[in-house]
Chains A and B, each alone.
Chain A
């Protein structure tokens, strides 16, 4: 397209100005000094002065370009009616000194030899488009794409080309192509329309790019190293942009290094910014999204679900499931009637492998605990002595097998273990009238059968009934070897 060809011509003029040798330093200086738009404007000036398109083509392109109306042209021309490349008007420059030498260099410079090819290719491309190989819409889109590309390239300005003008052209081309997909949607659409239309158009684009590559190759002549380096840099830059426009980049990179290749319209998933289009990673992403969805749904079900962390959320879920299962167990037990039935079964659950849940249930399950205690309490007030006997037997049996389950059993009943001395101290201190409830040593003989040697009174255990029963009485029970732990009745 025209802008790029003019670009080449500008570069060639710069080249020629410095005694037809690539002067890296000059270029770098010039590029670094001038601002991007200024440089662009300069280049446009350069281009405009010696580019003379044939009139018919000129009109067509004029039409296209005027309808599209890119902002950079407005910056340059400032006059809507005028053809942008007639830049006889002054361009707002800040850099006087840089202007002059460029202007001096350019006016009479004929496009240098190496760039004739690119000019030819450019005209060929235009012919392609004009002859309707692609259709006007895609041609316009292609033109828009090219112009935006040009803008971007100019915007990059001095920063882009690190190694000379030969690198400048292919690199900005590819860099701006990389930027293509990252920037606005219309650019993306333009580039996608690049690919989607007939293969002829793509081939033309390919030819153009290849031409540029070839032109730069030919023009590089003296500095193949420089060329390869920016080429490699451009390719690296392409890859650095992730997978944005992968097809474009892929078609770019091989075109730069090898000859013309036929375009390969591949239906690729246009990835979002910063994400790969690798099928594996897409599947991974989908899977992760699904899992996140379900975690969110679970969060609504489980109470206390204010955790944002996945791990803690899983913990909550696990605890809640355990709690619900325990509730089912207890409810199925309570139906069998009576505290006598409930209590041993609470303890018997530990052999099932859910021993930890008993304690959990007692701490977590508010309603559950209350209901079971309610049942327990009702029955105990009715026949407390019988219940106590049964309880004592149960505790004794449990202590035989496993202290932990015994503790759990007592906790389930709202009872606790404490050393007899403490119990006596409490009982004597608090209540004297409730003596009948305190049967300290009477139960030793029957329970002594468990073989733990409950001979000494200090070994016996005092159980304090929970306050919920309403008695507030202290009852002695059972026997235990070690100094028992005291748990708070609730």
Chain B
């Protein structure tokens, strides 16, 4: 039986931090280059700012997710979502603009395969969701599912598992981004 200790032990934050910072800085550099390349007039318009914000945010999320790798359901779902968004936003440019740190092009098929396999093994763990879904907790569980990437297809105990890991990674991400921002602005 899994014990609460296992969650904290499996979260090796150092490697996550390093990989996240690496990927993120790379992405920021790329975005900066793009920003310099675009015209000066449109730079400070709200739409441009908004687009750039989206880029930065997706770069941050993607680098965090790729730092975690493909072993967590939420990271897989997040990477998938970012890929789809990029495809929508940039069309042809998608294959040139690869989110920081990820090399999805070659591994797209493996990605889907791993996702399917992992999902089936997860489903076997917890059965009989009806009582949870129908009860008072069901609504909150659905709320949580919307928040956590990839949480739609999960049952309660897997959802809680993923939420715990996701919270840890988010907290790390926020801490690192703050430090980068302070460093950059100082």
Contact = CB atoms under 8 A, between A and B. Distances in A.
A400 interface: no
B65 to A, nearest CB: 12
B141 interface: yes
B100 interface: no
Given A294-B160, A311-B136, A314-B144, A287 B126 contact: yes
Q: Which secondary structure dominates chain B's binding surface?
A: helix
B166 interface: yes
A331 B174 contact: yes
Nearest to A338: B44
Contacts of A442: none
Nearest to A302: B167
Contacts of A284: 128
A290 interface: yes
Given A314-B140, A320-B167, A345-B50, A327 B127 contact: no
Interface in A329-346: 329, 331-336, 340-341, 344-345
Interface residues of B, number: 49
A344 B53 CA distance: 11
A297 B170 contact: no
Interface string B156-180: 1100110110111011011001101
B181 A348 contact: no
B184 interface: yes
B144 A324 contact: no
Contacts of A318: 140, 143-144, 147
Interface string B94-130: 0000000000000000000000000000000111100
A332 B60 contact: yes
B56 interface: yes
Contacts of A314: 137, 140-141, 144
A350 to B, nearest CB: 12
B167 A298 contact: yes
Interface of B: 1-4, 7-8, 28, 44, 46, 49-50, 52-53, 56-57, 59-61, 125-128, 136-137, 140-141, 143-144, 147-148, 156-157, 160-161, 163-164, 166-168, 170-171, 173-174, 177-178, 180-181, 184-185
16 contacts: A284-B128, A290-B1, A293-B3, A297-B8, A302-B167, A311-B136, A314-B144, A321-B147, A325-B147, A329-B53, A331-B174, A333-B53, A333-B57, A335-B56, A336-B49, A375-B185
Interface of A: 283-284, 287, 289-291, 293-298, 300-302, 310-311, 314-315, 317-318, 320-322, 324-325, 327-329, 331-336, 340-341, 344-345, 348, 371, 375, 394
Given A301-B171, A341-B53, 16 more contacts: A287-B128, A290-B1, A290-B126, A290-B157, A297-B8, A300-B4, A302-B167, A324-B171, A328-B57, A328-B61, A328-B170, A329-B57, A332-B56, A333-B57, A336-B53, A344-B46
